[in-house]
């Protein structure tokens, strides 16, 4: 195998592996430190939006989706009827009762009638929990007259980012990886043919 075919093979391998490398994952050393002087207040749902809570941060904080990869940003984690993650711990992903969001007004989706507790935790871009948090407990009324479950008319349940907020659209990423892998295989095949012809 000559030098050129080795270089082409390494380049093709790099093209094949690159889509699988996490692009927006940042370490705790790179992410902005959790703010110490921020106060969070979570307001309960209203009659007009019976499953929507609102968060106020004072002073304001740079809130962005984790997918933005902005090292100085933070996002919110809504723990619905579950214990929140301790400060300095990584907030789990892929759990239906933990919503990762960049919205300070969050629809929690359809909730059963009865009492619910939502704890909101500020998190770093890498999903590390900060001390900044607050909780609210509220009642969801039973449906009346066959109108469906309370909160059902408030809209669809929000998407849960079971991918640590790294990927916005799984289909787009899957197709992107498939296309890149296909091009890499074509490139390897062409490199092999070129190497065979040169012999």
pLDDT score recorded for residue 34: 94
CB 51 within 8 A of CB 151: yes
The answer to whether residues 108 and 158 touch, using CB atoms and an 8 Å cutoff, is: yes
Assign 3-class secondary structure to 100-156.
EECCCEEECCCCCCEEEEEEEEEEECCCEEEEEEEEEEEEECCCCCCCCCCCHHHCC
The 8-class DSSP code of residue 63 comes to B
Local confidence pLDDT in tens for the 199 residues of the chain: 566 655 555 555 555 555 444 444 444 448 899 999 999 999 999 999 999 999 999 999 999 998 888 899 999 999 999 999 999 999 999 999 999 999 999 999 999 999 999 999 999 999 999 999 999 999 999 876 544 444 444 444 444 444 344 333 343 344 445 555 555 666 666 666 666 666 6
Whole-angstrom distance, CA of residue 69 vs CA of residue 72:
9
Looking at residue 24, what is its pLDDT?
A: 43
**pLDDT given at position 145:** 58
Q: Residue 134 pairs with which residues in a beta bridge?
A: 120
Domain boundaries, the chain: 1-23+168-199, 24-165
User: Looking at residue 37, what is its pLDDT?
Assistant: 94
Cβ-Cβ contacts under 8 Å for 23 (sequence gap 6 or more): 69, 166
Q: How far apart are the C-alpha atoms of 164 and 62, rounded to whole Å?
A: 18
The answer to whether the pTM exceeds 0.85 is no
Burial per residue of 124-160, b for 16 or more beta-carbon CB atoms within 10 angstroms, e otherwise: bbbbbbbebbbebebebeeeeeeeebbbeebeeebeb
């Amino acid at each position: 195998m000559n030098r050129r075919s080795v270089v082409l093979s390494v380049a093709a391998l790099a093209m094949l592996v690159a889509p699988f490398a996490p692009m927006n994952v940042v370490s705790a050393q790179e992410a902005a430190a959790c703010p110490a002087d921020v106060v969070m207040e979570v307001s309960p749902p209203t009659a007009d939006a019976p499953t929507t809570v609102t968060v106020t941060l004072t002073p304001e904080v740079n809130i962005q989706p984790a997918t933005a990869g902005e090292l100085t940003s933070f996002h919110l984690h809504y723990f619905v009827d579950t214990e929140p993650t301790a400060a300095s711990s990584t907030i789990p992903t892929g759990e239906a009762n933990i919503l990762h969001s960049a919205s300070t007004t969050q629809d929690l989706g359809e909730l059963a009638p009865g009492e619910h507790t939502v704890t909101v935790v500020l998190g770093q871009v890498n999903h590390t929990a900060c001390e900044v948090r607050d909780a609210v407990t509220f009642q969801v009324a039973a449906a009346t007259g066959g109108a469906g479950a309370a909160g059902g008319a408030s809209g669809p349940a929000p998407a849960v980012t079971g991918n640590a907020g790294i990927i916005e659209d799984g289909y787009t990423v899957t197709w992107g990886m498939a296309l890149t892998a296909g091009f890499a295989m074509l490139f390897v095949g062409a490199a092999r043919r070129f190497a065979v012809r040169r012999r």
